[in-house]
Amino acid sequence: MKKELQDKILQRFPYLFSNIYYDTPLGQRGIECMDGWFDLIYELCSKVNNILISNPISGFKVVQIKEKFGRLRFYTNNDIREIKELIREYSDKSETICEVCGKPAKITKRIR
Ligand SMILES: [Zn+2]
């Protein structure tokens, strides 16, 4: 993802990204998907952030955000049910949004 978009996400949600994350794939490689998912990821982070505001979890961090097989993968260092459900919801949603342009889309099979 373009650095300026990525920074908007990383700087906006302190509960998700204020911990040192340089030892993680996110810290090393940034958000590993294209710009079309900016809104999707921003919205997911905002909801996770809201959960953490009402139920602070010390040391919570996002470890990796990437695309795999046309689907958003969003990994954290915690297994909180409410957050896991949100992540699943947004990963499902990612299959209906073009990773490049953000318009409605569906996963197509590659011809080998
Ligand atoms: Zn597109």
Q: Which of 97, 48, 45 is nearest to 71 (CA)?
A: 97
Would 87 be classed as within a structural domain? Answer: yes
Q: What mean pLDDT do residues 3-29 have?
A: 90
Report pLDDT for 58.
87
Map tokens 């490049």 to a residue: 100
Would 74 be classed as within a structural domain? Answer: yes
For residue 38, the CA-to-ligand 1 centroid distance in Å is 13
**What gap in Å lies between CA 55 and CA 68, rounded to an integer?**
30
Residues with CB under 5 A from ligand 1 (ion): 98, 100-101
Would 56 be classed as within a structural domain? Answer: yes
pLDDT in tens, 87-107: 999 999 999 999 999 999 988
User: Can you spell out the DSSP letters for 86-110?
Assistant: HHHHHHHHHTTB-TTT-SB----PP
Would 102 be classed as within a structural domain? Answer: no
| Residue 36 structural domain | 3-94
For residue 107, the CA-to-ligand 1 centroid distance in Å is 11
For residue 21, the CA-to-ligand 1 centroid distance in Å is 31
* CA distances from residue 85 to 2, 80, 89, 92, 101 in whole angstroms, order as listed: 27, 9, 6, 11, 26
Q: Which of 53, 82, 65, 59 is nearest to 24 (CA)?
A: 65
For residue 73, the CA-to-ligand 1 centroid distance in Å is 19
Helix residue ranges per DSSP H, 19-77: 25-29, 38-54
For residue 71, the CA-to-ligand 1 centroid distance in Å is 14
* DSSP conformational letter for 111: P
For residue 99, the CA-to-ligand 1 centroid distance in Å is 6
pLDDT in tens, 54-90: 999 888 999 999 999 999 999 999 889 999 999 999 9
Our count of domains for the chain comes to: 1
